[in-house]
A and B are shown apart, each in its own frame.
Chain A
Amino acid sequence: MANPFRLPMVPRALRNLVSRPATRLYPTELRPRFAGARGAIVFDVESCNFCMLCARRCPAAAIECSREDRSWAIDQLTCIACGVCVEVCNKKSLSMSAEPGRVHTRAEATPDGRRPGREEWLKPAPPPDLTTAPVSAAATD
């Protein structure tokens, strides 16, 4: 039979009374993110050529990309932060930040019922280059 007066937890419990708490007062006190942490996907619309590889490879189907509309959108709540899109991007338009994506509430859903967390980018089509426009045969005659 074990000695009933043996209390091995007592020294630790007494030390706990005077030591600092092991937890943080989240969200007022935040721990800085580690450098390699996987967080939200960051998109740079200027360098993207809309090859749509990221949308095809995304295992969670969180990315929508359209070459015709020159649009790119990600559903940050569907994204599983695996980093496949960042790896396959040829133009280095995608990167992963260490910070997590913003937390969205249901109240933020758009009136047409789209879920919150969707981030959209649209690249305007370049203006037509008038200097090299083909001259029609009728005008030269």
Chain B
Amino acid sequence: MKRTTIPFGPQHPVLPEPLVLDLILEDEKVIDAIPTIGYIHRGLEMMVERVEYTEMGFVVERICGICSFMHGMGYCVSLEAIMNVEVPERARWLRLVWAEISRIQSHLLWLGLGADAFGFENLFMHCWRMREQILDIFEKTTGGRIIHSVNRIGGVKRDIADSELAAILAELQELGAAFKETARVFGTDPSIAHRLGGVGVLTKADALAVDAVGPMVRASGIATDTRLGGAFMYDQIDFEPVVETAGDCLARVLVRLREVDQSIDIIRQAIDKMPKGEGLPIENRPRGLPSGEVFTRLEQPRGEVVYYVKANGTKNLERFRARTPTFANIPAMIKLVKGCDLADVPNIILTIDPCISCTER
């Protein structure tokens, strides 16, 4: 049969960022897909050689506008490990709270984008209306809606008063109750089930074979989550990874829906267990220059992120690498796209929650 090649991206209505897939079609079926990345490469790995390590935190935070808190946290945690800095307990709890709030923010943003991609404009607006409340919480506590700049090597820059933490929790629980209605639409609307159910199925064996991460792998029935490792105070939190077994696009939506509720519960536990009081230490400034190397793993909203930092005792780091979840999920995406209909390609691409700025750094 005659084959047609359709370039998908870098500009496409469903893509907020420039990803290119050359789709090779036979009739309406996708036979092969060839990804190309590199449109927004910014060269962080070279930049690290001329930007001082203290200033690099602000750059790393700007890798991506959605997981900016987690990127900043991953960088600071890596350097704290190299410089042997003991971070005060309250600062570690505050980081966890902010990390979970940013997970809610990311999932709400994605649910909106996903709804928009399968043509449910009304649902898209509701998800983004709720996300706006989360951004307000960020602006109140960190001073910025998207770029928070609260992480510092050795701790955090700002404290949140106990009364404000209680107010945030109340606000989040209210939002969680309002979110139930939206979650019910995702779960029960027949048009969504028709559009996403059974589309782009990633089986458990395939998910393991292509090393998918995050909600992608949890939707295929594998209970894995970097947070289970217990670092960054997660060992004191009681939670189970959200798992769905179907492995299709709908399952990936449902995983993210349930993770929003889970994050609110994690924040409740964290605020409960955090040491209370005014004026508790929130940072422990490091001394000297970093020397050594470290790997750090974090569970970002999109999945596991790995940072590799190598310092050589000067003001500039020798090496900085970030392997972001989208990069790890691209093989899974290619696998799913092969054999599907052309009309399903946008939904399959969106359900991995691609973040191209993260991938290309």
Contacts and interface: CB of A to CB of B under 8 A. Distances in A.
Interface of A: 2-9, 12-13, 16, 22, 34-38, 59-60, 80-83
B327 interface: no
Given A2-B194, A9-B122, A36 B141 contact: yes
Interface string B177-210: 0000110110011100110000000000000000
B55 A38 contact: no
A7 B58 contact: no
B276 interface: no
A59 B152 CA distance: 14
Interface in B103-128: 120, 122-123, 125-126
B42 to A, nearest CB: 15
Interface of B: 51, 55, 58-59, 120, 122-123, 125-126, 129, 132, 136, 139-144, 147, 149, 157-158, 181-182, 184-185, 188-190, 193-194
Given A37-B139, A80-B58, A2 B181 contact: no
Contacts of B139: 34, 36-37
B152 to A, nearest CB: 10
B185 A9 contact: yes
Given A12-B185, A36-B141, A4 B190 contact: yes
Contacts of A12: 122, 126, 181-182, 185
B147 A80 contact: yes
A3 B157 CA distance: 52
Nearest to B197: A2
Contacts of B123: 9
A49 B70 CA distance: 38
Interface of B is mostly: helix
Contact of B149 (A3, A13, A36, A82): A82
B144 A38 contact: yes
Contacts of A3: 190
Given A4-B190, A12-B126, A22-B129, A36 B185 contact: no
B168 to A, nearest CB: 13
A60 B142 CA distance: 20
A38 B149 contact: yes
B184 A8 contact: yes
A79 to B, nearest CB: 12
A60 B58 CA distance: 9
A2 B190 contact: yes
Contacts of A34: 136, 139-140
B185 A8 contact: yes
Contacts of B194: 2
Contacts of A36: 139-143, 158
Q: Which 3 pairs between the two chains have the least Cβ-Cβ distance?
A: A38-B143, A59-B55, A2-B190
Nearest to B123: A9
Contacts of B129: 22
A126 B125 CA distance: 60
B193 A2 contact: yes
Contacts of B182: 12
A6 B189 contact: yes
Contacts of B142: 36
Contacts of B185: 8-9, 12
A115 B122 CA distance: 42
A6 B147 contact: no
A1 to B, nearest CB: 8
Given A6-B188, A13-B122, A22-B129, 4 more contacts: A2-B190, A2-B193, A34-B139, A36-B140
